[in-house]
Amino acid sequence: MQTVSENNCFGGVQGVYNHTSTACACDMTFGLFMPVEAKDGPVPVLWFLSGLTCTHENAMTKAGAQLWAAEHGIALVFPDTSPRGDDVANDEAYDLGQSAGFYIDATQSPWATHFQMQSYVLHELSELLFENFPLDEQRQSICGHSMGGHGALTLAMKTPGRFASMSAFSPICNPVQSDWGRKQFTAYLGADESEWVKHDATHLMAGSGFNGPVLVDTGTQDQFYDLLKPEGLATAMVARKQNGTFRLQPGYDHSYFFISTFMEDHVAFHADALYGVTA
């Protein structure tokens, strides 16, 4: 692992690091904010998964999360959204290939060689972080935006007991019914739709649900609303009496202006879960 940069930030340190990934068979970069409390021992960690076209840098620089994480003594992890490099498969479209990993493990050529983002986030990057930084492995939560919201919700529901809470901004809620899903799942996973539902938040919620609190925010003026399919997830949450809050925010769109507006709410929500506080 190599240090790209480290900057003082709200009393802590915002770092950027890269390393050679076995899972993705390329070099990967991630951001990590460590609060000042990390000097005294392991701190809780909140993962933030970004969306289509993003790198590790977008949420790190635009979401305004460090201020609120510093207030609660929580670390923030900002992984990249896909493998990258000249030898990594890509597509001319913005929603497939590099910057569009969808946080799944591809099984189809040419994607399977590098696009193993589920394994990368849940296993390889996680192990690297807990080996090298004072992070509390027993206190983790996860959040994400758009494609990353899909990733946060699905990864949390696939790993019961790992994350204390999950939240999302404008998540792709029902990808098997959306062009933001059907296209990518066909490419990455093949034509068997029974494989797709294993990576669909609405189906996972209807099946196993989540063993912790959930917070979802979507703007009513989101320009991609029809692709996100929020109705399916909301219905599934109600049907299984999921401990959660699903909010439609009047007038807000899909941008980081929306995310930064409600980031304080999300970090406080996760802090309650990570510190065992009943909201």
Is 19 one of the annotated active-site residues of the chain? no
For the segment 172-207, what is each residue's pLDDT rounded down to a tens digit?
Answer: 999 999 999 999 999 999 999 999 999 999 999 999
Q: What is the pLDDT of residue 278?
A: 43
Instruction: Burial-class residue 93 by CB neighbours within 10 Å (0-12, 13-18, 19+).
Output: exposed
Q: What domains can be seen in the chain, in order of their start residue?
A: 2-278 (3.40.50.1820)
Confidence class of residue 279 from pLDDT cuts 50, 70 and 90? very low
For the segment 90-126, what is each residue's pLDDT rounded down to a tens digit?
Answer: 999 999 999 999 999 999 999 999 999 999 999 999 9
For the segment 30-62, what is each residue's pLDDT rounded down to a tens digit?
Answer: 999 999 999 999 999 999 999 999 999 999 999
Q: What share of the chain is helix, strand, coil (3-state, %, to 5)?
A: 40, 25, 35
Residue 140 belongs to what H/E stretch? Answer: strand 135-145
Active-site pick, 146, 165, 167, 178: 146
Active-site pick, 80, 105, 200, 222: 222
- For residue 18, what are the β-bridge partners? 2, 29
Q: Which two tokens stand for residue 123?
A: 């296993």
Give how far Cα 174 sits from Cα of 12, 45, 91, 180, Å. Answer: 37, 27, 23, 9
Q: What is the pLDDT of residue 182?
A: 98
Average pLDDT, the chain: 97
- Report if pTM > 0.85: yes
Is 194 one of the annotated active-site residues of the chain? no
Mean pLDDT of 242-247: 97
Q: What is the pLDDT of residue 136?
A: 98
Is 254 one of the annotated active-site residues of the chain? yes
Q: In sequence order, what DSSP letters do the residues of 74-114 get, joined into one string?
A: -EEEEE-SS--STTS---SSTTSBTTB-TTSB--STTTTTT
Residue 277 has pLDDT above 90, yes or no: no
